[in-house]
Amino acid sequence: MADITDPQVVFFSNVYLRPLMEVARDLQLRLTDAATEYTTNIAGIISGNVNADPLIDGRELEGVTQLTKLDLTNTLTHLNALLTTLDTAGADALRAKLTVRPPNLS
């Protein structure tokens, strides 16, 4: 078996692949945390609300759009879809092999 020493391949691995896998790992950790928080705490609180009910967070004056219950539930659906994609067979082992730095969840 021959070693791969081409500088362009080494650059690609170190500048693109490894950092992207670290981002993917961190994203998976954050998505899992958000999905767990929603399922265990948030879903029950908003279960009695209708989809059009707004989230009153006082951020409208900052120019931040107002969210509704439907926005929250749709976002969770998308978060779970991303988690499913990130949880494909072998993905954890591949991310573990390619990552160098510890998770950055700040």
pLDDT tens, position by position, 19-67? 999 999 999 999 999 999 999 999 999 999 999 999 999 998 899 999 9
Q: Note the pLDDT of residue 77.
A: 95
User: Taking a C-beta distance cutoff of 8 angstroms, is the pair 17, 98 a contact?
Assistant: yes
| Farthest CA pair distance, the chain | 63
Q: Which residues contact 77 (CB under 8 A, 6 or more apart)?
A: none
pLDDT digits (tens, 9 = 90+) for 70-105: 999 999 999 999 999 888 878 888 888 888 888 888
Q: Note the pLDDT of residue 18.
A: 93
Burial bucket for residue 50 (CB in 10 Å: 0-12, 13-18, 19+): exposed
Using CA atoms, how far residue 73 sits from 35, 38, 70, 77, in Å, is 11, 9, 5, 6
Calpha distance 12→63 (Å, rounded): 39
pLDDT band at 69 (very low <50, low <70, confident <90, very high): very high
Q: Note the pLDDT of residue 83.
A: 92
Q: Note the pLDDT of residue 16.
A: 94
Burial bucket for residue 84 (CB in 10 Å: 0-12, 13-18, 19+): exposed
Indicate whether 106 pLDDT > 80.
no
pTM here is 0.80
Q: Where are the domains of the chain?
A: 1-44+64-106
